[in-house]
Amino acid sequence: MAEKTEIDDVSGTQTTGHEWDGVKELDTPLPRWWLYIFYASILAAIVYWVLMPAWPLVNGYTKGVLGWSDRANVASDLSALRSARAADFARLERASYAEIAADADLREFARAAGESVFGDYCRTCHGAGGAGAPGYPVLADDVWIWGGTLADIERTIAYGIRSGHPSAHLSQMPAFGRDALLAPQQIGDVTEYVISISAARTRLAPNMGAARRGATTYQEQCALCHGPTGAGDRAQGAPSLDDDLWLYGGSRAEIRRQIELGRGGVMPAWESRFDPATRRALAVYVYEMGGGEPDPPPAPAEAPAATPMAAPQ
Ligand code: HEC
Ligand code: HEC
């Protein structure tokens, strides 16, 4: 078939010579810029195949002359991170809270490491940000059942509370109602008394006659742990009763229920789960949620000698 190319009158472009029923096809050339990009792409692909891993083979793939491997890079990044962190963890394990607080990098490292572990292991019970839930104390405030210095918090985390660990916090409130240690009437009276010494008295308006009767029972049965004025005793994990913050709820019925049942919360021990540096990071994170307490001043026996020029012995 004879194909005749010609210049199209209207566009001035050459035709391909194909013609269907008098309709001719223009042979419009590709724009130059497009062609150059096209050739450059082919060239780039070939260069890439040579340099980088590219083609799948039966047993493996073409490795490329650069020997690049994302898997190897991730592994080396991870081990670099691990060794960079090892130094931080080792520093953390040795530092006192004052030293951690004075070292912005170390403090941020501890806080971040603690936050991530807290999210995985503690949030289920203590709530996001340590907001607490009934039976699970708020950690983000400055009210502590067992103590709020860094050492106190670390101890609680390591051994737990009524956890079965030999060093755990142990003490337990008696179940005055269930075990019939007090008559229901006495429990009602001591409930009114507890309300009358707490900051909930404005909210709950205690019956003062009953509270006066309950005062004696309180001093005989409760003061040993909760203190004569209801200030609480951290050594025994007895919460303060003079504020308006309640682990088991602050209604009259809920307060009475705890006196009847003497519930004691269980906090797991984490000693075998986390190394000391991770426990310290957790403690720093909890401490910094808002309620950490300064270390007590050193006992007099540990205080440095008053005069640096003390005579040698
Ligand atoms: C299974 C639930 C549970 C988990 C998980 C848990 N806790 Fe607790 N935690 C408790 C309970 C319950 C108490 C209060 C015990 C009591 O009644 O004295 C408590 C108490 C505490 C206290 C003492 C608060 C105070 O006022 O003295 C600290 C600190 C604490 N938890 C930190 C943590 C950290 C950090 C983690 C994560 C490693 C964690 N807890 C995981 C249940 C839990
Ligand atoms: C052996 C020590 C002990 C004695 C005695 C004791 N308590 Fe307690 N009490 C505790 C402990 C420990 C808790 C905290 C339980 C927990 O953390 O799960 C507690 C908790 C409470 C609470 C709940 C506080 C809150 O924040 O929700 C109330 C109310 C209370 N006691 C009242 C009394 C009264 C009233 C008596 C006397 C009739 C009494 N307790 C005797 C140890 C004691």
CB atoms within 10 A of CB 73: 10
Of all ligands present, the nearest one to the C-alpha of 168 is 1
Residue ranges in the chain modelled with pLDDT below 50: 1, 303, 305-308, 310-313
State the Cα angle at 287 between 282 and 288, rounded to 5°: 100
Q: What is the C-alpha to C-alpha distance for residues 139 and 164, in angstroms, rounded to an integer?
A: 22
Burial of 225 (C-beta count, 10 Å sphere; 0-12/13-18/19+): middle
**From atom 17 of ligand 1, which residue's Cα is the shortest distance away?**
265
**From atom 15 of ligand 2, which residue's Cα is the shortest distance away?**
264
**From atom 42 of ligand 1, which residue's Cα is the shortest distance away?**
267
Q: Say what the pLDDT of residue 231 is.
A: 95
Closest CA to 140 of 294, 295, 285, 296: 285
Q: What is the C-alpha to C-alpha distance for residues 82 and 86, in angstroms, rounded to an integer?
A: 6
* Cα(155) to centroid(ligand 2), Å: 21
Burial of 86 (C-beta count, 10 Å sphere; 0-12/13-18/19+): exposed
Of all ligands present, the nearest one to the C-alpha of 247 is 2
Q: Say what the pLDDT of residue 301 is.
A: 58
* Cα(126) to centroid(ligand 1), Å: 7
Of all ligands present, the nearest one to the C-alpha of 245 is 2
Residue 143 tokens read as: 């009210």
* Cα(152) to centroid(ligand 2), Å: 20
Q: Say what the pLDDT of residue 99 is.
A: 87
| Ligand 1 proximal residues by C-beta, below 6 Å | 118, 121-122, 124-126, 135-137, 139, 144-146, 153, 156-157, 161, 237, 264-268, 270, 282, 286
Q: What is the C-alpha to C-alpha distance for residues 174 and 225, in angstroms, rounded to an integer?
A: 11
Query: Quick check: 156 and 169 in contact, CB under 8 A?
Result: yes
Q: Say what the pLDDT of residue 295 is.
A: 76
